[in-house]
Amino acid sequence: MHPAQSPGRRPVHPAGRRPVRRDGALHADLCIVGAGSGGLSVAAGAAQMGASVVLVEKHLMGGDCLNTGCVPSKALLAAAHAAAVVRGGARFGVNGHEPEIDFAAVRAHVQGVIAAIAPHDSVERFTGLGVTVLQAAARFTGPEEMEAGGERIRARRFVLATGSAPAVPPVPGLAETPFLTNESIFDLTERPAHLVVLGGGPIGVEMAQAFRRLGAVVTLVERAEILPKDEPEAVAILRDALRREGIAVVENASVTAIRRAGNGVELELEAPAALRLIRGSHLLVAAGRRPNTEGLGLDLAGIAATPRGITVDAGLRTANRRVFAIGDVAGGPQFTHIAGYHAGLVIRAALFGLPVKVDYAALPWVTYADPELAHVGLTEAAAREAGHQVSLLTQKLSGNDRAQAEAATEGLIKVVLGPRGRILGATILAPRAGEMIGLWGLAIQRRLGIGAIASSLAPYPTLSEISKRAAGGFYTPRLFGAGTRRIVGLVQRLLP
């Protein structure tokens, strides 16, 4: 799913040049493999800028994000949030009660959201933009040519945007046991009685909370600690929130075996305390992702790859200078917005010949739990590991008036600063934290100091005031210190 501001979401302009058939092959300026977030953004932008484009997709237009990732998961989370609001009404003096969950209707809502967005990513829309769409598997037959659906394709530049798929850990018995991934869980027609989630990353945490709020018993199993890339102070608060909702969070537990148990599943764990057994009706495997590189014929094109993905340089070029790789398959951060960012860089490089370089200094990510956990830039640990001289600013959400009014006071902001107040990173745990983190991303991208945030004007009462308040804390020791009091006393004596 491409970002709203990406070329794929801009108003439609006149169609670009069509690829031409010559010498038994389609000839184009660009051949893009993969119609997910990154591929669609490159295809739409390039076509509207006048390039001839071939787009190859072997499965569903819109890719993982539209069909099995970002869009359905957020639609499911919205339904789960509605259920939580009904349960929690009593704290506002409103009759709170256990909601009746119509799981078939929840699924219909999820599928309806996908259907509403799908036309933006459809074959018809991209054909209308002048893109030649081939619905087939693609593979290189040489350094300058691909084959897809019986068509030979020769292009000035190729873009591999094939994304990633759920990784399946090598746990004994898992291959013989029915399990769900993000590619199948949204097809469930009935609510699981007891969902066991294997993996405590963002997907695992989001789905655990969603299904718990929709009435399932949920056990979340993680071999280390949940959300290990995030600030531990924020994760601790979120972990407590999950447990209060009734989710059994089992951490530092190795799964030694998985097997069928009647109509359900059984996990054998090696945990610090003792060997444990967990039985559930359904198993969701959310243990990371692997790049989709199989069957592309990379060796025939002279393209290097590792289990992490296709090897690219700082400009996203592969070992074959005609070929770029973007998004999840490029082996870097696996986020939809990164695929959209990569797409913009490739358009500049492939269409205009401009030098480009990936910069992840202001990389944001969000775990869409409740409260949301949003981060941008460096964590404290990463900043110290990089050798920065670090100072920290923190504020609890309980000090925010809007949070008090909405009885949503669990959360915080943590800002990581370098010398002279340079902003290196920020974490926000709060309702809609993902909507607030962009301010800090812009500050990092523009290399602003903390004073830029401290002097900003935030409307009252909003949750976003927490950013300004935290930034103001940088100046508090000096502003209210003995030096300031002496200056104020002197000025007051001198004023008429």
Dist. CA 85–CA 76, nearest whole Å:
14
Q: Helix, strand, or coil here: 412? A: strand
* Long-range contact pairs involving 103-106 (C-beta distance under 8 Å, separation at least 24): 103/188, 103/189, 103/190, 103/191, 103/214, 104/189, 106/76, 106/79, 106/214
CB 26 within 8 A of CB 154: yes
Q: What does residue 347 show for φ and ψ, rounded to 5 degrees?
A: -60, -45
Using the structure block, give the residue that is written with the tokens 């499911």.
76
| pLDDT tens sequence for the chain (496 residues) | 443 334 444 444 556 689 999 999 999 999 999 999 999 999 999 999 999 999 999 999 999 999 999 999 999 999 999 999 999 999 999 998 999 999 999 999 999 999 999 999 999 999 999 999 999 999 999 999 999 999 999 999 999 999 999 999 999 999 999 999 999 999 999 999 999 999 999 999 999 999 999 999 999 999 999 999 999 999 999 999 999 999 999 999 999 999 999 999 999 998 776 668 999 999 999 999 999 999 999 999 999 999 999 999 999 999 999 999 999 999 999 999 999 999 999 999 999 999 999 999 999 999 999 999 999 999 999 999 999 999 999 999 999 999 999 999 999 999 999 999 999 999 999 999 999 999 999 999 999 999 999 999 999 999 999 999 999 999 988 778 788 788 888 888 899 8
Quote the CA–CA distance of 427 and 377 in Å, as a whole number.
9
By CB atoms closer than 10 A (0-12, 13-18, 19+), residue 354 is exposed
29 and 143 part of one domain: yes
Domain extent, residue 211, equals 174-287
Which CATH number goes with the domain that contains 445? 3.30.390.30
By DSSP bridging, strand 132-134 and strand 53-56 are parallel
Beta bridge partners of 376: 364, 426
CA distance 168 to 249: 21
Please tell me whether residues 127 and 16 are part of one structural domain. yes
Same structural domain, 281 and 303: no
* pLDDT value for 2: 40
Strands 412-417 and 391-396: antiparallel
Do 279 and 415 fall within a single domain?
no
Q: Which residues contact 138 (CB under 8 A, 6 or more apart)?
A: 33, 56, 58, 146, 147, 148, 153, 296
The verdict on residue 76 lying in a domain is: no
Instruction: Look at phi and psi of residue 22 and say left if phi exceeds 0, alpha if psi is from -120 to 50, else beta.
Output: beta
What's the pLDDT score for residue 482? 83
Rounded CA separation 95/252 (Å):
39
Task: Write down the pLDDT at residue 11.
Answer: 45
Pairing type for strands 194-198 and 282-285 reads: parallel
Same domain flag for 416 and 345:
no
Judged on CB neighbours under 10 Å (0-12, 13-18, 19+), 189 is exposed
What kind and span of H or E run contains 274? Answer: none
296/281 same-domain check: no
Contacts of 197 (CB under 8 A, 6+ apart): 204, 207, 208, 218, 219, 220, 221, 284, 286
Amino acid 274: pLDDT: 63
Residue 484: predicted pLDDT: 78
Tokens 């309980």 map to which residue? 398
Q: Do 43 and 147 belong together in one domain? A: yes
Sheet holding 391-396, edge to edge: 364-367, 372-377, 423-430, 412-417, 391-396
In the three-class reduction of DSSP (H, G, I as helix; E, B as strand; rest coil), residue 133 is classed as strand
Tell me how far apart the alpha carbons of residues 337 and 312 are, in angstroms, rounded to a whole number. Answer: 18
> What is the pairing mode between strands 423-430 and 289-291?
unpaired
pLDDT score, position 496: 85
Same domain, 153 and 178: no
Residues 295 and 372 grouped into a single domain: no
CA distance 402 to 428: 15
Same domain for 157 and 294, yes or no, is: yes
Number of structural domains in the chain: 3
Q: Which domain CATH number covers 34? A: 3.50.50.60
Q: Is the pTM of this model over 0.85?
A: yes
My answer on whether 389 and 458 are in the same domain is yes
